[in-house]
A and B are shown apart, each in its own frame.
Chain A
Amino acid sequence: MNLTLKIWRQRGPQDKGQMVEYKVTDISEHMSFLEMMDILNESLVEKDEEPIAFDHDCREGICGMCSLHINGEPHGPDRGITTCQLHMRTFKDGDTIYIEPWRAKAFPVIKDLIVDRNAFERIQQAGGYISVNTSGNTQDANAIPIPKLDADLSMDAAACIGCGACVASCKNSSAMLFVSAKVSQFALLPQGKVEAADRVRNMVAQMDAEGFGNCTNTGACEVECPKGISLDNIARMNREYLKASII
């Protein structure tokens, strides 16, 4: 199939950047989206042009590195997948495809389609951990009884790969789905309850300091999340935060 691509090009963080149009031909519907990007980049290199910079790593849908905003949606029009799992059969011959980086003040563009997602790292460092003595006499985790439902909900929250699609899809560029998943995965387990109050306070404070917007419960993040992280986590984070701040 032949496609018209409108891709964001930006030489560096200080560059203003712009959408640039490219034509790609003879694209197989069996290709993944990133393979299509590879082919475009090969053709650019052959023409002595700068290839398009985009994030990717495992290409198996689990690392959270790929991050393209495709035709107005993070990770493209399919549900429950990352961009590397998106295939060209989703598109039709002759389509025009918009490819842009995640857009948020807290995710500044480094180059072309690559954004700096270290804001997520700093939020994690603010409290996304449990303090465990690992000196060699660590207690067996299975010795602590945990209700099956709590374990399942915690595991569901832990499925978050921190790709940032929630921020990209939110009209407010809010990071609350990500932060709530990280808060929830610990808050639901006995090991995480010990530091739950400090954790939620510190992580929310860091989230606010990074300049993410505020959640207005549109639910776009839940729909676009490649890992199906539920909005229930945001309600849980709100609860945890109120508990930690008032009681």
Chain B
Amino acid sequence: MSGFLSSSIARKVAMALSALFLIIFLIIHLAVNLTSLFSADAFNEASHFMGTNPVIQFAMQPVLIFGVVFHFVMGFVLELRNKGARNVKYAKFNGAASSTWMSRNMVVSGAVILAFIVIHFLDFWIPELNTKYVLGDMSGVLPGEEGYRYFAELQHKFVPVWRVAAYVVAFVLLGLHLAHGFQSAFQSMGFNNKYTKCVKTLGVIYSVVIPLGFIIVALFHHFNH
């Protein structure tokens, strides 16, 4: 089995599996975010459920963190090894003649997404962990106030222009990453049949709709706080 995991194809498949897992996660994340456009209560309820349900917190969250870390670490390791496979560079290399910018620069879009995740964790995830598990306040309610705090925190975060701008840039790069990554994950797993065209179309739709949804949420709260 260790031989299998050290092979090039096994690593490709591992990248693809972690990618598909993150693709599903993004749908769930966006679904919760979109509720904030229509109802503060719905967003509060959904956030409180996701933030306090033990199955989500202690079973799914660690798997998610592992998936994120694995995808980044493996992605960067593979990129370095691939760079090493060409020890002398071409004086002239016309990559654009035969492949898309997205496909050749997954590590660039990946690095931007990583930078975004750092900001995003500092903004939301780490304060949440601090409140719930360091301070021990699982109520989701601020002292002296009524109702859950999540919607107000969301609105507050999207007041500064720099953060909204940073998020929008990161989501555009996420879209470019997905535009190649979605169909690439299926190809890596050997999925190639009469449904391949559907997968490619679905990939294009997904890579536009998901980032656009996140952008709309960020802009909506920036202009409606």
Contacts and interface: CB of A to CB of B under 8 A. Distances in A.
Interface of A: 6, 8, 17, 19, 69, 71-73, 77, 98, 100, 103-106, 109, 169, 171-174, 176, 204-205, 207-208, 211-220, 223-224, 231-232, 234-242, 245-246
B195 to A, nearest CB: 12
B85 A71 contact: no
B81 A213 contact: yes
Given A73-B94, A214-B8, A235-B191, 7 more contacts: A77-B97, A105-B86, A207-B8, A214-B11, A223-B98, A234-B187, A238-B187
Interface in B80-100: 81-82, 84-95, 97-100
Contact of B91 (A6, A218, A223): A6
A103 B89 contact: yes
Contacts of B100: 218-219
Given A69-B90, A216-B184, A219-B98, A237 B82 contact: no
30 contacts: A72-B94, A73-B98, A77-B97, A109-B88, A169-B98, A171-B82, A172-B82, A174-B8, A174-B82, A204-B7, A204-B9, A205-B3, A212-B8, A212-B85, A213-B82, A213-B85, A216-B103, A216-B106, A217-B103, A217-B183, A218-B100, A218-B180, A219-B100, A223-B98, A231-B187, A232-B192, A238-B187, A238-B189, A242-B189, A245-B10
B85 A105 contact: yes
A217 B180 contact: yes
Q: Is the interface of A mostly helix, strand, loop or mixed?
A: mixed
A214 B97 contact: no
B82 to A, nearest CB: 4
Contacts of B9: 204, 237-238, 241-242
B97 A72 contact: yes
B78 interface: yes
B162 interface: no
B103 A219 contact: yes
Nearest to B85: A213
Nearest to A224: B98
Contact of A211 (B13, B85, B94, B189): B85
B86 A213 contact: yes
Contact of A215 (B8, B92, B180, B192): B8
B144 interface: no
Contact of A104 (B12, B85, B190): B85
Contacts of A205: 3, 7
Nearest to A17: B88
B120 interface: no
